[in-house]
Chains A and B, each alone.
Chain A
């Protein structure tokens, strides 16, 4: 393995950097400095970060170097920088969730994911931009301005985790943390030519993840290669007694699966409901080619039907707003963050209303109102109750499919990255970006998006989604790594190497 030159540090993957740091070829401090320099150089154009914590990042890096010098055993990602989505609580660091209403709030505690990153010696560079409270598919709904797609700065980087994906694609960080409620890791990965994984629900602790929809939210790894995602996955996953919904079982060995990268004899299902009309021609073309590659590698490909997926979007847009309307109630201006209208005369109720009026953006208000309505007395059964039944049916569709096949595949998104402003005033068009990713959140199983080429018509990245049964996250890596290796053979490099220089 060639040792990375200092200028080339930012283009290296996490596993390569970790090896070089562990071998003493480069210090963690140098690696961190290179990335901080890169952020300083390009982030005014990309706007991936809401907050950069340079000093604490360098201090963490120095600590890794000290540990190495004193002969301590380093973890597999020690000294590697990471960007963390601004939805994760981090002690003393502003955590806004992309919202005005949390402006100025500095959590007094670390999310479990953040704790685990620190314990593994991963160096946190800062907090990344996102759609407000993770509601959106473009990062245009951030109160702090949109993030831009490094492939084309006039286009969206996906959302809600557009900041994390853009940080990877602009070489500001080799790793990132995302969260995925309906596709917020996978859709940004697809449109930025990066890799993103939504682990099995309960696979990664939600403690410290500011909730959008508690029964759907899941944090996961974002990287530029499958092996890097696997290494990060294994650092952050595992049971947490502080999250009752976290699964108390061993984490599937995702790193071994990524190294094995073998699909021979594997049964792969194409989901009939997630193809066809509505998918951009170049997306469908690249998807078909990727499936053919998998078949060529020895996988057995069949078509399966998941008939209730057609109802997933409708159910999702009842369950999510319902939970969100309750989760976001606490942002009332009483204890932290924004407070508006407290002139000493106005009532508590008025101050709460004025604060929420000023602090939440239009999309957040839209979903709070939909959710409040869906839970109202007299409407609960017709909306929330029915949506939960659909959820059960979708879970059964998955279970039935996984009796026939080991994994399912689909395009991650119907289209490549669209232009900033193109869909921001059309909520339904925006919601349709997540049509292929939402069923997995409803059912709670695991999925990955990885890049499979550029759409011929616009030269923008296309992502393929792999879906595995609950707690079979390792299969995502087995298939993803095999496909990635075959594409690497074909192209001689990862797709991300084709991103234009900024």
Chain B
């Protein structure tokens, strides 16, 4: 595990420059250059045709919806949409490539020169960074290889490899940032916040559902370090970074690694590195000297893409409320501070809180549960927040049980655990687990009497007017009732029993 001191030492000596290349699968119905379905999870090689299999003689035709999504993404990233651009062929031999070239965009991307503002939580409050966007371009995905046998899970050493071309030709957009400087110790958090913001933006636009567990968002992370005042250092590119958490971890571990090398007098080599989710570290891949020459040239089978200004304006008009504006609006509507809002955003819970509020839950309660208990459930179970199976209606029901006094917060937690386990609905779980708050006065009074008998000196103190000592008795009662009592009620009964008042 990363030791905080190693990172602190690295940042004390060096300034990081980071850059991110993010590939996202678009959620179009059909593929980039043919009409095959993009549905995830079909049997291998069932969603293929001569075009996406690259059979001799087949030809690509551009999916208009993919161009449209890319333009909308470009507009949302404040990019300029170019009036004319082309696809190019990126040539390399690999069995996941049906044509042994990938149709992509090279020196003529569709969208250029944009930016995205992201906010990072710091000890001094939320801080905003502007991440400049170099380009947004379109390309086709490759097939998916599965290597069987062998120790590494890579093609070398495998007994055999299977390839599924269902993924070949799925439309991708690649979003490339300009170098991001001046983030200092916050670099890993800025990287994570940027990818999070990108994800939210794409979901808001409806151009991708960004299912990270299906590999629909993949990041390459570039990092270099330099000593303050020196020119930028040599960068490495870490590939295969496929979750928000990993983006942060990849930047952090690469900063540590490079600082270690540089501090001991070594040199950073320009190379690609492979990130490993399990260890959170990367291993060396291809060096610059071994880098392939992709022999890019304009794809002669496709016409240039030349979106006219009227179309771009039309698409601009379809842009929904973008996440940053939406957050500002919700903060106001919910009546919460910027810090409170940021805590929701940091927990990745904005959509969940908004849905709960829309479902009738009080904003404070929705925030409490989604940044607290439900967030804990997600991280315990390694789930995305969106995959925690708790509905707004269930939260509303729990809240109403708490308000009426039949549940307390501790019991409510158990209800949510039950829902996450698939034990059923709120009332069913309350009944099955016997979670009702004990509100029968006689049962509580019995427990109070037992507690008083067990701690006669405390009882004496309370009788003598030391009301604050009541806590010890209340605690004992709560323990005896396994948390199923309402603490306020216990206190009230206790004081009544002893004939004292607050």
Residues of A within 8 A of B (CB): 88-89, 95, 97, 102, 105, 107-109, 111, 206-211, 213-215, 241-245, 322-323, 325-326, 329-332, 334-336, 347-349, 352, 372, 375-377, 380, 384
Q: Which of B93-101, B255-263, B325-333, B424-432 contacts A (4 or more CB under 8 A)?
A: B93-101
B119 to chain A, nearest CB (A): 40
B100 contact set on A, CB distance < 8 A: 329-330, 332
**Alpha-carbon separation in the docked complex, A241 to B302 (Å):** 12
A211 contact set on B, CB distance < 8 A: 56-57, 301
A349 contact set on B, CB distance < 8 A: 93
A380 contact set on B, CB distance < 8 A: 295, 297
Verify if B335 is at the interface (C-beta below 8 Å from A): no
Q: Which of B59-67, B110-118, B133-141 contacts A (4 or more CB under 8 A)?
A: B59-67
Contact partner of B295 (CB less than 8 A), chosen from A213, A241, A242, A376, is A376
Would B56 and A244 count as touching, CB distance under 8 A?
Answer: no
Would A208 and B293 count as touching, CB distance under 8 A?
Answer: no
Would B295 and A334 count as touching, CB distance under 8 A?
Answer: no
Would A244 and B59 count as touching, CB distance under 8 A?
Answer: yes
Verify if B359 is at the interface (C-beta below 8 Å from A): no
Q: Which of B47-55, B264-272, B470-478 contacts A (4 or more CB under 8 A)?
A: B47-55
Would B59 and A243 count as touching, CB distance under 8 A?
Answer: yes
**Alpha-carbon separation in the docked complex, A211 to B301 (Å):** 10
Nearest B-chain residue to A373, judged by Cβ: B295
Would A244 and B297 count as touching, CB distance under 8 A?
Answer: no
Would B301 and A244 count as touching, CB distance under 8 A?
Answer: yes
Verify if B343 is at the interface (C-beta below 8 Å from A): no
- Contact A326 to B91, CB < 8 A, known contacts A208-B58, A215-B300: yes
Would A335 and B53 count as touching, CB distance under 8 A?
Answer: yes
What 11 additional pairs, Cβ within 8 angstroms, besides A322-B297, A380-B295?
A89-B55, A207-B58, A210-B57, A242-B59, A323-B300, A330-B56, A335-B98, A347-B156, A348-B161, A375-B297, A376-B293
**Alpha-carbon separation in the docked complex, A330 to B94 (Å):** 10
B188 to chain A, nearest CB (A): 33
B107 to chain A, nearest CB (A): 11
Contact partner of A330 (CB less than 8 A), chosen from B98, B156, B300, is B98
A384 contact set on B, CB distance < 8 A: 297
Would A107 and B95 count as touching, CB distance under 8 A?
Answer: no
Would B101 and A107 count as touching, CB distance under 8 A?
Answer: no
Verify if B336 is at the interface (C-beta below 8 Å from A): no
Would A348 and B95 count as touching, CB distance under 8 A?
Answer: yes
**Alpha-carbon separation in the docked complex, A322 to B56 (Å):** 17
Would A372 and B303 count as touching, CB distance under 8 A?
Answer: no
Nearest A-chain residue to B99, judged by Cβ: A330
Q: Which of A88, A213, A375: most chain B Cβ within 10 A?
A: A375
Classify the secondary structure of A's interface with B: loop
Verify if B12 is at the interface (C-beta below 8 Å from A): no
Verify if B89 is at the interface (C-beta below 8 Å from A): yes
B61 contact set on A, CB distance < 8 A: 241-244
**Alpha-carbon separation in the docked complex, A367 to B156 (Å):** 31
Verify if B155 is at the interface (C-beta below 8 Å from A): yes
B155 to chain A, nearest CB (A): 7
Residues of B within 8 A of A (CB): 50, 53-62, 89, 91, 93, 95, 98-101, 155-156, 161, 293, 295-297, 300-303
**Complex A-B: 22 CB contacts under 8 Å:** A89-B57, A105-B56, A108-B55, A109-B50, A111-B57, A207-B59, A211-B56, A211-B57, A244-B303, A245-B300, A245-B302, A329-B91, A330-B56, A330-B99, A330-B100, A331-B56, A332-B95, A335-B98, A348-B95, A349-B93, A352-B93, A377-B293
B54 contact set on A, CB distance < 8 A: 330
B303 contact set on A, CB distance < 8 A: 244-245
Q: 8 nearest interchain CB pairs? A: A329-B100, A375-B295, A214-B300, A215-B300, A210-B56, A89-B57, A208-B57, A210-B57
**Alpha-carbon separation in the docked complex, A160 to B167 (Å):** 37
B93 contact set on A, CB distance < 8 A: 329, 332, 349, 352
Q: Which of B99, B295, B302: most chain A Cβ within 10 A?
A: B295
Would B297 and A102 count as touching, CB distance under 8 A?
Answer: no
**Alpha-carbon separation in the docked complex, A438 to B15 (Å):** 58
A329 contact set on B, CB distance < 8 A: 91, 93, 99-101
B161 contact set on A, CB distance < 8 A: 348
**Alpha-carbon separation in the docked complex, A109 to B34 (Å):** 15
**Alpha-carbon separation in the docked complex, A241 to B34 (Å):** 11
- Contact A326 to B55, CB < 8 A, known contacts A214-B300, A214-B301: no
A88 contact set on B, CB distance < 8 A: 57
B41 to chain A, nearest CB (A): 23
Q: Which of B59, B60, B61: most chain A Cβ within 10 A?
A: B59
A206 contact set on B, CB distance < 8 A: 59
Would A108 and B50 count as touching, CB distance under 8 A?
Answer: yes
**Alpha-carbon separation in the docked complex, A377 to B91 (Å):** 12
**Alpha-carbon separation in the docked complex, A242 to B34 (Å):** 9
Q: Which of B57, B98, B155, B302: most chain A Cβ within 10 A?
A: B57
B50 contact set on A, CB distance < 8 A: 89, 107-109
Nearest A-chain residue to B60, judged by Cβ: A244
Q: Which of A105, A331, A332, A336: most chain B Cβ within 10 A?
A: A332
B94 to chain A, nearest CB (A): 8
**Alpha-carbon separation in the docked complex, A88 to B99 (Å):** 18
A208 contact set on B, CB distance < 8 A: 57-58
**Alpha-carbon separation in the docked complex, A377 to B295 (Å):** 6
A118 to chain B, nearest CB (A): 16
B60 contact set on A, CB distance < 8 A: 244
B62 contact set on A, CB distance < 8 A: 244
- Contact A375 to B91, CB < 8 A, known contacts A326-B101, A330-B100: yes
